[in-house]
Amino acid sequence: MTHFLKPYERSWLMLGSKSTPMHLGALLIFKLPARGAKSYISNLITMLRAQNTVVAPWNYTLVKGLRPSWSETAEVDLDYHVRHIALPEPGGERELGGLVSRLHSHTLDMQRPLWECHLIEGLSDGRFALFIKMHHSLTDTSGFIRLLTSWLSPSKSAQLSAAPWATPSAADINHDSWTQPLIENALNPKQALQSGLAMGGAFTRLLRSSARPGLKRPYQAPRSPLNVKIGPSRRLATQQYSLARLSTLAEASSSSLESLILYLCATALRRFFKEYNALPDAPLIAAVPRRPGSDNGATIELVSLASDIADPVRRLAAINQSYLAAKSHIAEVPDGLQWLYTGITAMPYLLGQLSGASAFVPAMFNISIHSEQGPEAAQYCNGAELLDLYPMFPLAQDGALSITCLYYAGDAHIGICGARETLPSLQRLALYMEQALIGLESILIDGETA
């Protein structure tokens, strides 16, 4: 069966290169079960490779041409796609981070289904990991998370017999629904007029963004150390917070949880760049992807990180105002056409990327920051508890950093992906995020002054 790629799926293929591999990544860390731990890894790798059927989108191969498409194949070489690696001693975070950084830097084989799974044993404290990567043209971030977790079980005693690639997908792989709003508008002149007026109104409000406090226009981001040419090597860092801790602080500051995550990123970046005397005078701008409602395709909300504001409380308030303004602005675009609206505003950015002239195009944003919802309850793989799940978003030229936050089992798991040559000290960002949170708690909870 053949499925033609949607426009935004094709864009991820076009953006891909050796220096900018466009795959999503995820690091899943499990705790070995108390019983049967010695044979657990060998049994798991056997199960992962012994699948008679591989389902969509894991069995998709790319058919190139004027109109690229996916073709479902019955022959997926699981010995190639599922790999077994052992960490060197002592199997700590440093060794794991170095290995996963290298794995995430390598491009996928475009002649095969566009995914890989690496089972990593030898972690300290009786743990093992899966690192899975999949090309962004196959799924978005939220769909990727569902693909990674739909095969697991909330029951510790459940015995799984199917791998993710043999489990019917919970991700959206409807290849036709994106055209439905366009067809409906074409067949209904009145609806087409209303949609056209609403789209025009949204662009007008965007151009007159000063009329709505906090709303940011595209291509107003300052040039920063993040907006440079990058190479293929990646460096990864992680951070984790209790949702209860974050929620308490969000309530105390009258801000949203998403705004608080943006604040932690902004404050860490402000400190990071001030140390190098490289902080722009204008505020950094974050691209916050979102998949709203029934819309088939992601939108991008542009949010000020208020990195020019020294006072922490005022910085958080400015970020929250900008976040809410961007969210309200996108909501005013007709449902089903929001992806088209985002595509139009992003066209100069895409043309700059594809032509290699991105350095000469005004920066649309400085950094991409995602927030995604994962399972609310702990998940298990044949008795092994999923402790951590860190997602990683790909990087494009003139975009050396992305941060993705996943809410899973009462915690916020944050994956930080940076270009290695541009950001060699990436782990400091994770440290500065923790210190930013402690500092804000001391002001808002303990009543200390900034």
277: in domain: yes
* Amino acid making up residue 265: C
In this structure, the answer to whether residues 191 and 78 fall within a common structural domain is: no
In this structure, the answer to whether residues 203 and 155 fall within a common structural domain is: no
| Domain total of the chain | 3
174: in domain: no
Predicted local confidence at residue 178, as pLDDT: 44
In this structure, the answer to whether residues 53 and 42 fall within a common structural domain is: yes
**Contact assessment for residue 343 and residue 8, using Cβ atoms and an 8 Å cutoff:** yes
**Closest of 116, 345, 309 to residue 209, by C-alpha:** 345
In this structure, the answer to whether residues 84 and 216 fall within a common structural domain is: no
Ranges of residues in the chain with a pLDDT under 70 are: 169-199, 202-203, 207-211, 292-297, 448-450
In this structure, the answer to whether residues 154 and 206 fall within a common structural domain is: no
Predicted local confidence at residue 170, as pLDDT: 52
Number of other CB atoms surrounding residue 190 within 10 Å: 8
- The active-site residue out of 3, 81, 135, 136 is 136
Q: Tell me if the pTM is above 0.85.
A: yes
Which residue range is the domain that position 285 belongs to? 212-377+393-444
In this structure, the answer to whether residues 113 and 37 fall within a common structural domain is: yes
Pick from 166, 191, 225: which residue ends a domain?
166
* Amino acid making up residue 290: R
Q: Is 23 a catalytic residue?
A: no
369: in domain: yes
Write the CATH number for 15: 3.30.559.10
In this structure, the answer to whether residues 322 and 202 fall within a common structural domain is: no
In angstroms, the CA 124 to CA 27 distance is: 16
In this structure, the answer to whether residues 223 and 205 fall within a common structural domain is: no
In this structure, the answer to whether residues 272 and 157 fall within a common structural domain is: no
Predicted local confidence at residue 193, as pLDDT: 57
Per-residue DSSP letters for 411-441? EEEEEEEEETTT-TTTHHHHHHHHHHHHHHH
Burial of 392 (0-12, 13-18, 19+ CB in 10 A): buried
112: in domain: yes
In this structure, the answer to whether residues 320 and 235 fall within a common structural domain is: yes
In this structure, the answer to whether residues 298 and 230 fall within a common structural domain is: yes
Which residues touch 128 (CB under 8 Å, ≥6 apart)? 29, 30, 32, 41, 119, 120, 121, 122, 384
382: in domain: no
Q: Is the dihedral of CA 89, 90, 95, 100 positive or negative?
A: positive
In this structure, the answer to whether residues 15 and 111 fall within a common structural domain is: yes
388: in domain: no
